[in-house]
Amino acid sequence: MIINQLRKFTPVNILLVSIIGTFLCLGALFHLPDHIDPLIFEPAVNNLLGIKIGFGLSPLNNLMTTLVLTLLQAFLLNKVINHFNFFTKPNFLVALMFMTLVSLFLPFLILSPTLICNFITILMLGKLFNIYKQPDVKGLMFDLGMIVALGSFIYFPFMVMLILLWIALIIFRPFLWREWVTPLLGFSTIYFLMGVVYFWFDRFEEFKAIFSPFANSLPTSLSVDVNDYFVIIPIAIALLFFLITLREHYFRSIVQIRKSFQLLFYMVALIFASFYLNEHITINHFLLCAPPLAIYLAYYFTYAKSKWLYEGLYLIIIVAILYFQLT
């Protein structure tokens, strides 16, 4: 079956994940709109450069481009998790779970700022997991601060990941004030340089407007079909089983892995908390949750013992995704 096969670390599973990822997009082919607007970055970059990704792409080509990008992200995340030995032995379950999560909702299957930001999220996770054993992380934290700033140019709520850097320091490191200052210095450096560019072109008022989302009122509604909520039910059940499995294995894991799971929890919490930075919240915002939740789900499916349960649960997840895509 699928889960048992992907518990193995063999090259053929690269093809299998790609096939399943493509299969999970099939439902979107029946709901492609006549036109999809190109991907536009946040005003910080768009006002200066006017970058439009996907301009001229047909809806089908947009879908295929998204599929290729998400597959690349899936294998990059899988490589990071296997490198840090999150599980007993390397496997491809993280890649499978990532492709499953990015197929949950039809809006996830088109180019979006959050899709691009997931590359940055995966890069950040690889660096954050690495700070536990580093003797000096000031340079690394400075780089991460700059990375967060660049991510906020693509999708402004990504700025909340700056808080995650400080949380990582709390979890992984003893308190050293220089390590706490360097992420803010890196972040401020990028925005300072951007401010200089705007000032140079006599458009500094536009630069100040970049921060207007902080004045947004809390959104009171979410733009999503109510029927799509049902597809989350089997995912929620799998996450419940993850918590049970984690409780059984938590103290058997090495300290770095235990701390990494704590960090992933705070990442999900911050993503949910940052929704107010969007004037009109959309389901695409929660695509940022795919990397940490994929790791959680992969942990359950790696250690689950009842074959009929974990194989059956994943089959239900696939059926639910395709059903709600087609209806």
Across all residues in the chain, what is the average pLDDT? 86
Exposed e or buried b for every residue in 301-317, given b needs 16+ CB within 10 A? bbbbeeeeebbebbeeb
Region 187-211: what's the mean pLDDT? 83
Lowest mean pLDDT among 53-67, 165-179, 202-216, 302-316: 202-216
Give 16-70 pLDDT, tens digit per residue: 999 999 999 887 777 777 767 777 777 777 777 767 776 777 888 888 899 999 9
Return the bridge partners of 52, or none. 40
Boundaries of every domain in the chain:
2-326
* pLDDT at residue 221, as a whole number: 54
Mean predicted confidence (pLDDT) in 93-122 = 92
Token pair recorded at residue 107: 């809006």
The mean pLDDT of 164-186, rounded to a whole number, is 91
Predicted pLDDT of residue 46: 73
Choice between 121 and 219, residue whose per-residue pLDDT is larger: 121
Q: How far is CA 27 from CA 35, 105, 108, 114, in A?
A: 17, 10, 12, 21
Please say if the pLDDT value at position 220 is more than 60. Answer: no
Tell me which amino acid residue 148 is. V
What is the pTM assigned to this prediction? 0.92
DSSP β-bridge partners for residue 53: 39
Q: What is the pLDDT of residue 81?
A: 94
- Counting Cα atoms < 13 Å in the Cβ hemisphere of 324 gives 21
pLDDT band at 170 (very low <50, low <70, confident <90, very high): very high
Residue that wins the pLDDT comparison between 91 and 325? 91
Q: Is residue 23 classed exposed, middle or buried when 0-12, 13-18 and 19+ CB atoms within 10 A define those classes?
A: middle
**What's the pLDDT band for 279 if we cut at 50, 70, 90?**
low
Q: What percent of the chain has pLDDT over 90?
A: 45
Please give the average per-residue pLDDT across 85-102, as a whole number.
92
pLDDT at 164: 95
The whole-number average pLDDT for the span 260-286 is 84
Cα separation of 292 and 249, whole Å? 18
Half-sphere exposure for 142 (CA within 13 Å, toward CB): 8
